[in-house]
A and B are shown apart, each in its own frame.
Chain A
Amino acid sequence: GQSLEQPSEVTAVEGAIVQINCTYQTSGFYGLSWYQQHDGGAPTFLSYNALDGLEETGRFSSFLSRSDSYGYLLLQELQMKDSASYFCAVQHQGGKLIFGQGTELSVKP
């Protein structure tokens, strides 16, 4: 089977840095994606890692270690608007995406 593990919730203060970890067990792994979802909204794409290492996009960075079946999403200079759920998702060859259960991030003033 396949599984993804990520913390259910994380709390941080404005301006801080937070890291959301994701471990996975799957066959046919192609890459790891991250999506953001605000309450009542649709998931939106944040980043994708196919190779080991760090990908940086503005305040957000994502890391992958294929040998450890592990990745993380790093959010810097947290803002109130970053309060949302964050999902890691395993990308399979052929386009299939399997999502983790999501991490609810609360940013406090």
Chain B
Amino acid sequence: DAGVIQSPRHEVTEMGQEVTLRCKPISGHDYLFWYRQTMMRGLELLIYFNNNVPIDDSGMPEDRFSAKMPNASFSTLKIQPSEPRDSAVYFCASSLAPGQGYEQYFGPGTRLTVT
């Protein structure tokens, strides 16, 4: 398997623009997670899905952030409108169901810069 795939790897955009980050999890994984990493706040869980259904979105910072998982092989994280404080590395990760293994496999991340 190619691992978790994220696109784009780098995104530079202007404040107010819409940003869409994409993730393809490892085939067969039931869980998909979106994280944000910054120096100040560390690695934060934003939202996670089980079998394409959002389970916990308590980490989503505000209504400007939304995430979808239309099928088992694709998820998006959208920021609209974007702000400079959204600049961070966004990671997507996937895993098997608890009981089958607890390792989360992370994608390479999308480095987002909002100017």
Q: Shortest Cβ distance from A5 into chain B, in angstroms?
A: 12
Query: Provided the pairs A33-B102, A96-B45, A97-B104 are in contact, do residues A43 and B97 lie with their beta carbons within 8 angstroms?
Result: no
Mask, A38-51, CB within 8 Å of B = 1, is 00011111001010
Contacting A at CB under 8 A, from B47-85, are: 48, 50, 55-56
Looking at A91, A93, A96, the one whose CB has the most chain B CB atoms below 10 A away is A96
* A31 & B102 in contact (Cβ 8 Å cutoff): yes
Closest A residue to B56 by beta carbon equals A96
- Given A33-B102, A94-B55, A97-B33, the answer on whether A42 and B43 have CB atoms closer than 8 Å is no
Of the four ranges (under 10, 10 to 19, 20 to 34, 35 or more), the interface on chain A belongs to 20 to 34
Interface size on B, as a range, is 20 to 34
Within 8 Å of chain A (Cβ to Cβ): is B18?
Answer: no
Mark out the residues of chain A between 68 and 105 whose CB falls within 8 Å of any chain B CB in the assembled complex.
87, 91, 93-102
Contact B104 A45 (CB under 8 A): yes
**Could you tell me the distance between the alpha carbons of A100 and B37 in the complex, rounded to whole angstroms?**
12
Whether A45 pairs with B43 at a CB distance below 8 angstroms is no
Q: Find chain A residues with CB under 8 A from B108 CB.
A: 41-42
Report the Cα distance A3→B106, complex, angstroms. 22
Known A30-B98, A45-B103: A95·B31 in contact at CB below 8 Å:
yes
24 A-B contacts (beta carbon < 8 Å): A42-B91, A42-B106, A42-B107, A42-B109, A43-B43, A43-B106, A45-B103, A48-B102, A87-B43, A91-B98, A91-B102, A93-B98, A94-B56, A95-B31, A95-B48, A95-B50, A95-B55, A96-B45, A96-B48, A96-B56, A97-B33, A99-B44, A99-B45, A102-B43
- Residues on A close to B: CB < 8 A? 30-31, 33, 41-45, 48, 50, 87, 91, 93-102
Partner-A contacts on B (CB < 8 A)? 31, 33, 42-45, 48, 50, 55-56, 91, 93, 95, 97-98, 102-109
Task: Give 4 A-B pairs besides A42-B107, A95-B98, A96-B55 with Cβ atoms closer than 8 angstroms.
Answer: A33-B102, A93-B98, A95-B97, A97-B104
